[in-house]
Amino acid sequence: MRVTISDIARMKRDGERIVMITAYDYTSARIVDTTDIPLILVGDSLGMVVQGHQSTIPVTLDEMIYHVRAVMRGCERPLVVGDMSFMTYNTPDEALRNAGRLLQEGGCQSVKLEGGVAFAPTVRRLVEAGIPVMGHLGFTPQSVNQIGMRVQGKDVNHARQLLDDALALQEAGAWAVVLELIPAALAQAITERLSIPTIGIGAGVHCSGEVQVWHDILGLYSDRVPRHTRRYRTLAAEIQAALTEYAHDVRERSFPTDANSARIDPAVLADALADHTELA
Ligand code: KIV
């Protein structure tokens, strides 16, 4: 049975840490499905780690839908959240149309969008239409050209603003909010003042849960390990070693072997070649 928003709310009430991981395709979703991780984010971070862009900005809604569909085919248990891509939720009407597509065509259970007080009317509109919304505050990657990639909320006005934003999202009906790259003590203060879960990334240990990017924790993307993440494996090195071995075996003719190959009755083959006896 698929995890529900009520299950996640209960986890917050019970003080159970809420784990979320990004996934962008069928294969990775299948792997998540074999774990007890309850939440998948099909993040527009796929713009960087899958598509090779410098930011999330080039990602389109159609691309998000494509990836959400692949993830949905790969998992039965986690609740799947799909990111609203840049410029798809500038007005409540536009947001309703596009979030509707993400749920209807993609098949995910919730959308996530970036922004605070200014987006509260949009969140309310979606929630009233039956579309669950996860908020996203702090470093909001779609605003990278305005705010740069740095820790947010370090001065009094900005810290106050972030608290107001979080309360506004909750008031508008968001069921959770991602806090990205903000000071740990501020994330704790926000978490203590909200009844909905906060999911941190670069926001310390006192959020209700944590989200990380698949490629970061598995060592698949870059050689640099940013401060907000931890590399649990270096799969890029594993894959590189496997590919090198594979290439070696092909060149040495030690792969494929007879065991990897199909057989044909020699008489059948001789018959089939009877009219073509010349070799190139
Ligand atoms: O797109 C994404 O992966 C995200 C996470 C970093 C929270 O928004």
Asked if 58 and 51 count as a contact pair (C-beta separation under 8 A), the reply is yes
Burial class (CB in 10 A: 0-12, 13-18, 19+), 182: buried
CA dist list (Å): 15 to 8, 9, 32: 11, 10, 22
With a 6 Å cutoff on the Cβ, whether 22 touches ligand 1 is yes
Domain annotation covers residue 208: yes
With a 6 Å cutoff on the Cβ, whether 178 touches ligand 1 is yes
Task: Report pLDDT digits (tens) over 58-77.
Answer: 999 999 999 999 999 999 99
CA 106–ligand 1 middle distance (angstroms): 18
| Owning domain of residue 263 | 238-273
CA dist list (Å): 54 to 25, 108, 142, 210, 231: 20, 26, 11, 24, 21
CA 43–ligand 1 middle distance (angstroms): 5
Task: Report pLDDT digits (tens) over 103-146.
Answer: 999 999 999 999 999 999 999 999 999 999 999 999 999 999 99
**180 catalytically annotated:** yes
CA 279–ligand 1 middle distance (angstroms): 58
Asked if 188 and 206 count as a contact pair (C-beta separation under 8 A), the reply is yes
Residues 10 and 112 in one domain: yes
Residues 229 and 247 in one domain: no
- pTM of the predicted model, to two decimals? 0.96
Residues 224 and 248 in one domain: no
pLDDT at 161: 98
Domain annotation covers residue 249: yes
Residues 247 and 186 in one domain: no
Residue nearest to atom 1 of ligand 1 (CA): 43
Catalytic residue among 180, 192, 238, 245: 180
Residues 54 and 186 in one domain: yes
Residues 242 and 177 in one domain: no
| pLDDT < 50 regions, the chain | none
Residues 189 and 261 in one domain: no
Residues 226 and 258 in one domain: no
pLDDT at 194: 98
With a 6 Å cutoff on the Cβ, whether 39 touches ligand 1 is no
Asked if 84 and 112 count as a contact pair (C-beta separation under 8 A), the reply is yes
Measured from the Cα of 114, ligand 1's closest atom is 8
